[in-house]
Structure 1
Amino acid sequence: MSQSSVSLCWLRADLRLHDNHALYHASQRGPVVAVFIATPAVWREHDDAPIKVDFWRRNLQALAGNLQNQGIALRILEADRWDQCPQLLLDCAAELGADALYFNDEYGLHEQARDDAVMQAWQARDLHCQRYTDQLLFPPGSLQTQAGSMFKVYSQFRRRAFEALHRHLPRCLPAPEKQSVSTPQSSALPDAFAGLSAASEAQQALWPAGEEAAHERLQHFTQQLLEDYEQDRDRPDLDGTSRLSAYLAAGVVSPRQCLHAALQINHGEFDSGNPGAVSWINELLWREFYKHILVCYPRVSRHRAFRPDTEAVAWRDDPEGLRAWQQGETGIPIVDAAMQQLLQTGWMHNRLRMISAMFLSKNLLIDWREGERWFMQHLIDGDLAANNGGWQWSASTGTDAAPYFRVFNPLSQSLKCDPDGSFIRQWLPALAHLSPREIHSPPVDDLLNAVDYPAPILDLKSSRQRAIEAFRSLGAEA
């Protein structure tokens, strides 16, 4: 077979061998070389967390071994900017004698512009370039209202998604067959990772890399935890969630693989049967919904509110309040424990993301974009669409947003999601000796019960009313 029949598969947030559309279809054409472009300057600009970059690095290493077993080399290139990607890929193709490029779509505003530029550059050279929907079950914009527009309400989107899935269930593709034609050796990881990749041994142990680790977690979740997911998913003191978000964000596991695993447990049902399975499929579709929003309403990619009227909210400039929230020193135990979980593990339970986000954006009345950025700077599963969607929901600025007068009371939330205080004890050891009654609201004036823990930085009742008035002054609708 001639060198000219070699194809490149450009990998990004799809670091897996199985059910990878671009990789599979490239291998069907003939010999393939996988390519990954490290862009440290862009990672910094996008606030990608060091623990997230470390996760990419470790998954790339694991993937390189899996690809090598299939006779596929992994070339790792480096660029300062995304606008260098078209030429880098063309140069790589010229070196390897490749005449085709395959990749899976990404959905941020700048990602789309980068991918369009690459495709145009390849087509200008009369080279084959093929793109695929892989991160999602449906191409963005393909699920539409009767008026032909993108849904703004999740429940309506979910209903249309269920209709589409009942008509056609996307299948999981196999791994590429082993290549019989030799390709160049894989390249070593560049120094680009050294300056931005950071995670402790304990953090790495929490998030083992590679497809095998991802599927072990998926299997454990679906076979051991899924049945009780509906009742346990809001309990951070329990191992009740999938903890697959980091693997989904890096593309180590696909949404189709997750969907099929849930359907297997639930006898093929999407919206009936086991409540836990139905609830988790619902969460997979929330992830889908936010990526569709990212594409169809690009203003959210520009750090703008989904609801334009809420751009006028009079957010407070409160550096000390922001710092206390960031460091888990607000004097509200469930908020502080959540922030410590984030700082120490690179992950936060979803219910706690809502509680801590609403505390910042409502009680402190600090711009939600401050919190969105802080989360991205620390999350191993940082994803623009999901992070933005969650923050805007909590701040009442987004699609399906909480009504502006809905302000979670962190104390009542704490009692519900951590009833005996075991989660708080784990992350705030200074409070470990307190009783289940006291730990949610530690005594601050009783010398006999003095603890090394700050007093609350605000009054929950008056700060709630302040937030309501700030939104009401806009004439905001519930």
Structure 2
Amino acid sequence: MMNSEPQSTNHALLWLRADLRISDNTALNCAIESGLPVIAIYISTPMQWYQHHISGRQVDLIERRLKVVKQQLNDINIPLLVLECDDFSTVPETIIQLCQQHQISAVYCNRQHGWNEKQRDIAVEQALITDNKHWYCSDDYCVVPPGQVVTLQQQMYKVFTPFRTAWLKQFLQHNYQPTTNSDKVMFSQHCLSLINDNLDDNASFQPFNYSKQDSLLWPVDEQAIQQRLQMFCETKAEYYQQQRDFPAIDGTSCLSPYLAIGALSARQCLAALIETQPQCVEINSHNGAFVWLSEVVWREFYNHLLDSYDRLSKHQPFQLYTHKIQWLENSDHVRAWQQGQTGYPIVDAAMRQLAATGWMHNRLRMISASFLVKDLLCDWRIGEQWFMQQLIDGELASNNGGWQWAASTGTDAQPYFRIFNPTTQSERFDADGEFIRQWIPELESVPDKYIHAPSLWSGFGGVNYPLPIVDHKQMRLLAIDSYKQAKTLHDSSHQL
């Protein structure tokens, strides 16, 4: 019969956050390497999730994924506790109590880059130091850690292309390969006895106290996730550049939900890509694999910016002059956009896809965001919040970066005078209306010639679909004028 470990035995605590995996998890590896028996925790924070507008589908995905991770950790003798705090403010006290209860001497986690998350971690670290505990926070969410890709003046890049060049140089010079813990899990039975004696490991944790939506379109088991990555790299990456902009084609990776919750690391993605498409690291090669690699680097760029500029976590634009824009406050227009009833089929199909699945094709994210901001002249933060509330892959840095790009308020943004025409975008990327008809069945009978602007069709009166809620040409001119006025006001207010 196995004897229980004495209560004086020290333990290491692994605190899981947006890193729900046991492969290529820096904090897990560090905790194992400490030589101490490891206990893992995940802390749900329902009120914080509401404040951050986290979608019910993403929370459901996290909950489902945690059950997989719990079993994976159990297989290497690490128990996982799932606790709940209302918000970040009570997390330090909860962790200190756990440390005292289980004789934990060190806490291991992976760094997060949002301002609230950084403040939470500062508070936890201070509480641990006060209680004579150790705190180890690793860089893991990005391939190249924030702060390491800077200009000669040691400043953060504000334009993507030179950032990508510098990032690739760093990537090729250093070993950013994913790591495994297979050679590190052969340690003592301390944790096994801890499971048996102190923790009810067989009890399934309680469902999260949150308004969840079904995430079953996205499998959470390890084999399915890795298979999806491998299949994309082997069969789609080569053609990514030609196919990625057409929503009716299954040409994208659809890996973003797994990256957002950390079920997959960016290092794992790039390792799989390079193994199957080694030419992808050739700068400006513009093959499909390089273009997809660039999308991963965009994710890095936005996270580096988030880490460098706290205002991006605080609903503030990067381009300060855009504070002066006079947004229109039209709740009917916002509601029509949210419900996919604007009278612009490509926008409406995109918004209905989002509502039904919690996911939206990237080209459509740009089109629908541009429409809200430039055609309806609505504050981009309304759209940013709506997307976070809906998206299964919602992630602060990328969502904020994408919206500020579309709104011309961010770094390296779309120039404010370049405005997507939703009809011509539709004609270009859904030429025969296949995607439109999939999500707007009431347009089934509209001829191909009119599918992008059905109100021009003579039979439109018999179709249950709204007229366009705005005139694109008029709103384009109004938007350009509004941005010009904001710039003039800002410049004049900053003159001596």
Q: Structure 1-normalised TM-score?
A: 0.95
1:444 deviates by: 5.6
Residue 455 of structure 1 corresponds to which residue in structure 2? 467
Q: Structure 2: which amino acid aligns with 1:97?
A: Q
Counterparts of 2:410 and 2:167, CA distance in 1:
21
Q: Tell whether 2:249 aligns with 1:234.
A: no
- Which of 14, 21, 29 is residue 16 of structure 1 equivalent to? 21
8 Å CA contact 2:279–2:290 kept in 1: the answer is: no
- Residue identity opposite 1:155 in structure 2: T
The reply on whether 1:294 has 2:306 as its aligned counterpart is: yes
- Who is 2:156 aligned against? 150
How far 1:443 sits from its partner (Å)?
Answer: 3.2
Comparing 414-423 and 260-269, the one that deviates more: 260-269
Letter of the structure 2 residue corresponding to residue 29 of structure 1: S
Q: Do structure 1's residue 48 and structure 2's residue 54 form an aligned pair?
A: yes
Answer whether contact 2:423 2:453 (CA < 8 A) is retained: yes
Is 1:165–2:171 an aligned residue pair? yes
State which of 248, 264, 267 in structure 2 corresponds to 1:256: 267
Residues 94/264 of structure 1: CA separation in 2 closer, same or farther (3 Å cut): same
- Runs of 4+ in structure 1 deviating by more than 4 angstroms, as ranges, are 187-192
Cα distance per residue 1:343-374 (max 9 Å; x no partner) = 00000011100000000000000000000000
Tell me if the contact between 2:233 and 2:277 (Cα under 8 Å) persists in the aligned partners: no
In 1, Cα distance between equivalents of 2:187 and 2:443: 58
Mean Cα deviation higher: 260-269 or 227-236: 260-269
Q: Give the Å deviation of 1:447.
A: 4.0
- For 1:81, the equivalent position in structure 2 comes to 87
Partner amino acid, structure 2, of 1:18: S
Deviation, 1:440, is 1.1
Q: How many angstroms does 1:187 deviate by?
A: 7.1
What is the root-mean-square deviation in Å for CA atoms of aligned residues? Answer: 1.8
3-state SS of 2:125 partner = helix
Cα separation, 2, equivalents of 1:133 and 1:6:
22
Task: Say if 1:462 and 1:274 are closer, same or farther in 2 by CA, change over 3 A.
Answer: closer
Structure 1 residue ranges without an equivalent (≥5):
none
- The count of residues paired between Structure 1 and Structure 2 equals 473
8 Å contact kept, 1:18–1:174: yes
> SS of 1:443's equivalent?
helix
AA partner of residue 71 (structure 2): G
Aligned with 2:101 (options 95, 99, 107): 95
Quote the residue 1:216 is aligned against: 227
TM-aligned CA deviation for residue 213 of structure 1: 2.2
1:85 Cα deviation after fit: 1.3
Q: Cα offset for 1:147? A: 1.1
1:177 correspondence with 2:182: no
Work out whether residues 7 and 100 of structure 1, in 8 Å CA contact, stay in contact via their aligned partners in 2: yes
Q: Distance in 1 between matches of 2:69 and 2:221?
A: 7
Specify which of 95, 101, 121 is matched with residue 127 of structure 2.
121
Structure 1 residue 29 displacement after superposition: 1.8
Tell me, yes or no, if the aligned pair for 1:376 and 1:383 is still in contact at 8 Å: yes
Does 1:107 find its partner at 2:113? yes
User: After superposition, what is the alpha-carbon deviation per residue over 1:242-265, rounded to whole angstroms, capped at 9, x for unaligned?
Assistant: 101100000000000011111112
| Aligned amino acid, residue 256 of structure 1 | R
Please give the secondary structure, in 2, of the residue aligned with 1:331. Answer: coil
What is the CA–CA distance in structure 1 between the aligned matches of 2:337 and 2:186, rounded to whole Å? 51
- Judged with a 3 Å threshold, the aligned counterparts in structure 2 of structure 1 residues 457 and 28 are, in CA distance, closer, same or farther, namely same
Aligned-residue offset at 1:335: 0.1
Equivalent in the alignment of 1:351? 363
Using the TM superposition, give the Cα deviation of residue 269 of structure 1 relative to its aligned residue in structure 2, in angstroms: 4.5
**What is the distance in 1 between the residues matched to 2:205 and 2:462?**
52
2:430 to 418, 421, 428: 418
Among the aligned pairs, what percent are the same residue?
43
Alignment deviations for residues 175-230 of structure 1 (CA, whole Å, 9 cap, x no partner): 3525541132437565561432221xxx41x2111332221110111111111001
How far apart are the structure 2 equivalents of 1:436 and 1:221?
Answer: 31
TM-superposed CA distance for 1:44, in Å, is: 0.8
Equivalent runs, 1:262-301 vs 2, <5 Å: 262-267=273-278, 269-272=280-283, 275-301=287-313
The letter for the 2-side match of 1:28 is: E
CA distance in 1, matches of 2:178, 2:320: 39
Contact 2:58 2:392 in 1 (8 A): yes
